[in-house]
Amino acid sequence: MFIHSDNITQYIPQRTPIVMISGILAADEQRTRTGFHVSPDNIFVQNGVLTPPGLMENIAQTAAAGAGYEAVQGQVPVQVGYIGAVKDLEIFELPPAGAFIETTTQITHKVFNATMITGQVMLDGKLIAQCEMKIFINP
């Protein structure tokens, strides 16, 4: 599966210039994997690298894309979510402009309108960032 960036905004609430995923590579009820081409003119690129806030937004949008994909498949509206907390953020390397990163999120818990996920960002098969997030869905 690959859902291209031309159609990605049907699955996430973000719009340009804040779209931080290029496409959905895989999605199911628990796990989502996206790809993102780090453009040199991206709002989160500074000094030739994607900054930590850009990596966090990429992880959050990967989780949102999974929820959006499930919503579209179920023919229900895509809901807006908000990052409630970031825990244990580790950044081992910042990806350079021009790189293609792959991000995977895994749902660990769902309670009412809160979803807890783990996220990992890979560059050329190497783990460059990871964290846990609590995401709240606007009811």
Pseudo-torsion of CA 72, 76, 78, 83, nearest 10°?
A: -110
pLDDT of residue 6: 67
Give the CATH number, domain containing residue 34: 3.10.129.10
Q: Which domain holds residue 79?
A: 5-137
Into how many domains does the chain fold?
1
pLDDT of residue 138: 80
pLDDT of residue 108: 98
pLDDT of residue 89: 98
Parts of the chain with a pLDDT under 70: 1-6, 139
Pseudo-torsion of CA 86, 92, 98, 103, nearest 10°?
A: -50
pLDDT of residue 1: 58
pTM of the model: 0.94
Is 57 within 8 Å of 101 (Cβ atoms)? no
Chain centroid to CA 25: 12
